[in-house]
Amino acid sequence: MLDPSFVFAQSLSGLTAAMFLFLIASGLSLIFGVLRVLNFAHGTFYMLGAYAAYQLVQWLGQGGGRFWLAALGAATAIALLGGLVERLLFRHLYGKEELYQLLFTYALVLILSDGAKMIWGTQQKSVSRPPGLTGSFTVFGATVPHYNLFILLLGPAIALGVWFVLQRTRVGRFIRAAALDRETLGALGVNVSALYTWVFVIASFLGGLGGALISPMRATTPGMDTEIIVEAFVVVVIGGLGSFWGTFLGALVYGQVLSFGILFFPRFSIFAVFALMAGVLIVRPWGLLGRPLQ
C-alpha cells in the first residue's frame, strides 16, 4: 500500500505547483476573457519576471526583506512591459484575424526570450530563498520547506485579492463588463482602449510575480517560457477560458494530476495532463466553470 505520508507530500507538492500555475494562468485567462486573445507571450513575461527578480536580487542583495522588494519590483517591471507592448503594438491588431494576433504574441515570445538570452546568457540563474523562509518543518512525516508553505498561503490570498479587484472595484466592474459586451461599454462612455491596457498591465503583473516568486524554487533557464505557457493553456482550458475561479480549479486539478500521475504511471504523467485537456475540450469546450461563447 501507499505510504500516507508520501501521498500527503505528493499532494502538497501538487498544491504548490498549482499556486504558481494559478498565478500565471489567471493572467492568461484574464486577457482571453476580455480581449479574446490567447497570449503566447504570457509565459515569456513569467520567465522575464524570474530573470528580473534575479537581477534585482543581484543589485539589492538578499537580506532584510529585500527579496520581497525585488519580487515586487520585477512584477512591476513586467507589468510596465506588458502595458507598453499593448499600447505600442498589440492594439493595432484588434479586429484583425485571430491567427495574426496569435502569431504576433508568438513573435513576442521569440523576441523577448532571445532578448533575455542576450542579457542573461544560457546559464541557469538561481536565487536563494529569502532569509526567514529557508528552513523546513515536518507534517505527517512529510518535509515541507517554509517557502512552499508560504506559497501555499500566498496563492489563495492573491486569488482572493484579484477576485476582490474584479468584483468590487470600478476597474474590475468595467473589465467584467468589457468581457461581456465591449461596444455597449464604450457607448456608455467608458474608455475601453485604456481598459485594455489595464488588463494587460494586471495580467503581466501576475505573470511576472509568478516568475519572481518561483525563482528561489526552480532555476531560471531559457526555454522555461515555452514550457510553462503550454501548462498554463492546459489549466485555463480545463477550468474554462476567461473564468476566474475556473482557472483556480484548473490549476488545482493540474497540480494533483501531475503529482499523482508521476506516482502511478511515472512516464506518462505529461500525457495524462494533455489527455485531460483534450477530454475537457471534447466534452465541455468552455471548461469546467466557464460559459460558452456567444
Residue of 99, 138, 183, 189 interacting with another protein (CB under 8 A):
99
Task: State the angle between helix axes of 192-214 and 4-35 in degrees (0 to 180), rounded to the nearest 10.
Answer: 160
Residue 261 identity = G
> Least distance in Å: CB of 186 to another protein?
23
Q: Examine residue 278 and tell whether it contacts another protein (CB under 8 A).
A: yes
Q: Examine residue 69 and tell whether it contacts another protein (CB under 8 A).
A: no
Residue of 45, 196, 233, 254 interacting with another protein (CB under 8 A):
233
3-class SS shares of the chain: helix, strand, coil, % to 5: 75, 5, 20
Q: Examine residue 264 and tell whether it contacts another protein (CB under 8 A).
A: no
> Least distance in Å: CB of 37 to another protein?
9
How many amino acids of this chain bind another protein (CB under 8 A)?
42
> Least distance in Å: CB of 268 to another protein?
6
Q: Examine residue 25 and tell whether it contacts another protein (CB under 8 A).
A: no
Q: Examine residue 121 and tell whether it contacts another protein (CB under 8 A).
A: no
Reduced to 3 states, what is the DSSP secondary structure of residue 133?
coil
Reduced to 3 states, what is the DSSP secondary structure of residue 191?
coil
> Least distance in Å: CB of 154 to another protein?
29
Q: Examine residue 230 and tell whether it contacts another protein (CB under 8 A).
A: yes
Residue of 12, 52, 127, 234 interacting with another protein (CB under 8 A):
234
Residue 89 backbone zone (phi > 0: left; psi -120 to 50: alpha; other: beta) = alpha
Q: Examine residue 262 and tell whether it contacts another protein (CB under 8 A).
A: no
CB 193 within 8 A of CB 182: no
Helices (DSSP H) in 40-145: which residue ranges?
A: 42-60, 66-88, 98-120
CA distance linking residue 236 with residue 245, whole number of Å: 10
Nearest Cα to 40, choosing from 30, 52, 28? 28
Residues that bind another protein (CB under 8 A): 36, 38, 40, 89, 92-93, 96, 98-100, 102-104, 106-111, 113-115, 117-118, 226, 230, 233-234, 237, 241, 267-268, 270-271, 274-275, 277-278, 281-282, 285-286
